[in-house]
Structure 1
């Protein structure tokens, strides 16, 4: 409950143990506090109670310890004339960058009030050799964005109802604040049924090419889960992930808001075979002979490259051309991650699955797994 800054000028403190009501930036309420003053030009010490959050009247004849069950020295500030100035509440990360969440500040704070506090904060942070500032601003506090811009802040990113602004404080070192997301991630799936492959033609596209079903990954979605979801949504085919065949990197990708594009092509096993295409997204969908797709002029370079990999996989086994996924523990406590790599001899279960898929085909493998 540490307050960020006063929103009003404190009255002159003329006598010890005098009670005043003070509004704080960083708290969505007013708190009644006991101000202990030794002089109007010396230090004012604020003792407040976490349990005293209402504006009920206080009895100045009672002892402070009885008034406040849980006493807490919130801050000790130098009194300048008849006002006190403090800095924004913040957290400091391991890179010595300051993080400020303005969601804790009342929405009625004016741009002028915020400007005074922000300026004092920047002075303090530079004095204490902080490297940069991350300023998280909710949409309801949009009135302070021009103020932050005046002090050199720039947009880093915005999502939902929150904008993140940033400022590099060091003048002797180049800006080392990391950029926002540099890539978007797309995933498609190669789904085989004996010598046929599942292909679609997208609706509302400037070109009509036969391609593999797929789309963009959502936040925190695994690559294989994106492939499963997109294939099901577009074709009605349920699948299981077998591996990653390849991925493509493309810069200046249209419709990516200036981001680069990573596009993963997964090898997928069908669990059913009756197509139910999405009427909103798909113009046409079918099981097409691999040889027909290979000879079609309505395909892209990436599709032709995948056909080459499929041919190699059919001849030598798909473990030869696919990357398998494994789950590992992260150095960050409680987190896991996936590594995609070529098949290893120790992966016996994967060896059997790859062999069955390359020799027997997905229908036989599907029937075997149901047994």
Structure 2
């Protein structure tokens, strides 16, 4: 039984490794390590676990984020509000201690950076049968009741979030293996896009290539790349919303225009996931409405760039890990 449980737990670990590598996160320190609790009286434990820790550089500050992960691999019947609340409470205690623990710092933290520690609860449904709204488990959990220090951050990725990110990863891999103009260049020529926000410059444009947790939990993920001998810029927008209304696509187009993606991108492609059946037609109508709203003619430079945006649906894929294969995955 213990061996079976170990293999199931390994599914979440293997998927998180493959998943976050595609978003340019880097693993650091030991996996499955225990370290001393700094507040045993309130936390009620002698040690805390660290399943795995990743890091990436922040685009709008000089900080490096260290993501302390609690990886859960549940069957559909095991995903309950009580289980999620318990796991999230435990994770918040881990983050609270990690921020002040010298032992944790010695295991995971680089000494030459300004660190920012956050927590990630990764809830993977290993049997693929969970079809409920995972957010319902979180609505009854009061943020103020969680033992998380003020200003600290904890994120939760549920089964549907993980399936979305896994499909983005799969699509990127498929495009890298393609040929011709649809091919995506190697990872060295790609980075996730962070615009120059009003009053917030991108302080680490060369180092901050990774997708932050804020991007991974947002309605879309934008990958920027350089292709060809002239290093022409292109943009891939992975779109998570339903695509049911013209207004939501107009909001996306406004984002692309406001942050100069339309100016810089020689190729812009929007790839949607689990959208409404008529989403492609809705996007076309939204593009036409958007051009009209700007008072531009159909022959203007902006209209031509907008009309050239490609809209396609992603091929849906599901990562499936065999317990037998994992049991034979020798170190």
TM-score (norm 1): 0.26
* Larger Rg computed on CA atoms: 1
TM-score (norm 2): 0.29
Judging by fraction of residues, say which structure has more strand: 1
